Amino acid sequence: MLDINLIRNNPDKVRENIRKKFQDEKLPMVDEVIRLDREFRDAIQQGDNLRNKRKTLSKQIGGLLGKGEKEEAEKVKVEVAAMADELAALEAKEEELKAEIRKRMLVIPNIIDDSVPIGRDDSENVEIQRYGEPAVPEWEIPYHVDIMERLNGIDLDAARKTSGNGFYYLMGDVARLHSAILSYARDFMIDRGFTYVVPPFMIHGNVVTGVMSFAEMENMMYKIEGEDLYLIGTSEHSMIGKFIDTILDEDQLPQTLTSYSPCFRKEVGAHGIEERGVYRIHQFEKQEMIVICKPEESPMWFDRLWQNTVDFFRTLDIPVRTLECCSGDLADLKVKSLDVEAWSPRQKKYFEVGSCSNLGDAQARRLQIRVKGADGSKYLAHTLNNTCVAPPRMLIAFLENNLRADGTVAIPEALRMYMGGKDHIG
C-alpha cells in the first residue's frame, strides 16, 4: 500500500506506475482517492473546530451558572448537546471516508523499481543468467509421475478417492527424498545465518490482507468456515504477520528467518499437461526465506536471497536460470521480483521453482511494522521473501536431472546423509 502523501503530492507518478503495469482500469482510483482524502481532511477540520467551540461553550456554562444566569446557561447547554450530535455524525463520516480511501489504496499497485523491465505478462520476463549446463541425455526422460510410479513412490488414484484432484500420496524412497530435500534446505539456510522457524499454518484475515492483494487472496486462500482463519498459501504470510503492530529497534535488524510449512492453495483455473501430476497442486511443503530490514539495505538482501536459491539447486546438480519479472508480471505489492527456474531435460526448457520478491514498505505499512531509529524517529521497515525450495515440484527437476539410463536416480553428495547414506534410489 502506498503512502497517502505520494498520491497527494505526486499523483502523476502513481498514474504512470499504473500504466507501466498495464492496469489502466485503476487510473480513476487516483482521482477518487484525492477527492475522498480532501473530504476526509475537511471532516477532520470541521470536527476539530466543533470540539474547540464546544470546549469554549462548556466553559461559558460554568461562568453563567456562577453568575446565577441559569436560563442563559440552559440555552448554551442545548447548543452544546446539538453539537454532540453533529460531532458524532462527522466522526461517522470520517470513518466511512477512511474505509473508502483504504479500499482503493489496497488496490493501487506499489511503485515498481526503476530497474524493472516493462512488459505485459510473464512472456516478457527477461533472462538474466544461467548456472550450470542444461543437458538432454541420450535416453528418454519419462513424465515425472511415470518416474515416481516406477519407483513405487506415488499414488495419485488413492489421493483422488480421499481428497480429489490436486493431491497425492508420496511413498517409500520418493517420500524420503521429499523429506530429505526439506531437511537439507533447512540446514543449508541455517548455515547461511538464518534463524529456523516453524510458524502457525493458519492466520487471521487482517494478516492476510496485510501481506497480499485481494486478487491473490481470492485465487489462493482457503478460509476456515465460521472462523476468522485462513490456511496459509506460503509461510511468508504468517512469518511477515509475526511482526504486525511491532516497533523494532534498529539494532534488531535485519531479521533473517527461514521457515518450514505446508502450503495450501486453491490454484484456480485450468492447466495443461505440464501442470498435472505434482506440478500444480493444492497442498505442498516449502522452505522459505524472510527478511525484515532497513529500507537502504533491501536491494542488497534481494540479491543475497535469490543467490541462496541458485546455490542450493547447484549443490544438487540441477542447472538453473534467473529471470527478471517484468512490470505486468509483478503482484501489486511488489517493488521487484526475480524467478529462479530449473532445467527440465524432458521438456527441454526451464520451469519456475522459486520466486524472490522485494515488497519495499508496502506490507510494513499495511501491518504497521516500524523501526525505531537511534535518534528516536520511527519509519517503516522493508520486507522481502524468497523460496529456498518447494517440493514436490522441485522433485520434478531433481528426478529428471538425476535420472540414469538404467532407471535409477542418483543422489548427490549433499543429500546422502539425509537418505541413510544411499547414493541412488531405484
The answer to whether position 145 is within a domain reads yes
- Do residues 207 and 309 both lie within one domain? yes
Q: Any idea what the CATH number is for the domain that residue 23 is in?
A: 1.10.287.40
Q: Which three cell numbers stand for residue 52?
A: 474547540
- Do residues 215 and 171 both lie within one domain? yes
pLDDT of residue 73: 67
Q: Render 286-307 in DSSP notation, one character per residue.
A: EEEEEEEE-GGGHHHHHHHHHH
**362-399 pLDDT, tens digit each:** 999 999 999 999 999 999 999 999 999 998 889 999 99
- Do residues 356 and 255 both lie within one domain? yes
The answer to whether position 160 is within a domain reads yes
Chain mean position to CA 247: 20
| pLDDT grade for 279, boundaries at 50, 70 and 90 | confident
- Do residues 95 and 149 both lie within one domain? no
In the chain, the amino acid numbered 210 is G
- Do residues 87 and 136 both lie within one domain? no
Chain mean position to CA 335: 12
Q: Which three cell numbers stand for residue 9?
A: 503530492
Number of domain units in the chain? 2
Instruction: Pick the last residue of a domain from 39, 74, 105.
Output: 105
Out of 76-85, 143-152, 154-163, 220-229, least confident range: 76-85
Report the candidate in 309, 280, 321 with the shortest Cα–Cα distance to residue 127: 321
**114-142 pLDDT, tens digit each:** 999 999 999 999 999 999 999 999 989 99
Instruction: Pick the last residue of a domain from 73, 105, 137.
Output: 105
Question: 228: which DSSP letter?
Answer: S
- Do residues 238 and 355 both lie within one domain? yes
Q: Any idea what the CATH number is for the domain that residue 336 is in?
A: 3.30.930.10
User: Could you tell me where the DSSP H helices lie in 10-26?
Assistant: 11-20
CA distance linking residue 120 with residue 137, whole number of Å: 35
- Do residues 84 and 226 both lie within one domain? no
The answer to whether position 115 is within a domain reads no
- Do residues 99 and 231 both lie within one domain? no
- Do residues 378 and 281 both lie within one domain? yes
- The residue-averaged pLDDT of 397-407 equals 94
Domain carrying residue 417: 122-425
The answer to whether position 117 is within a domain reads no
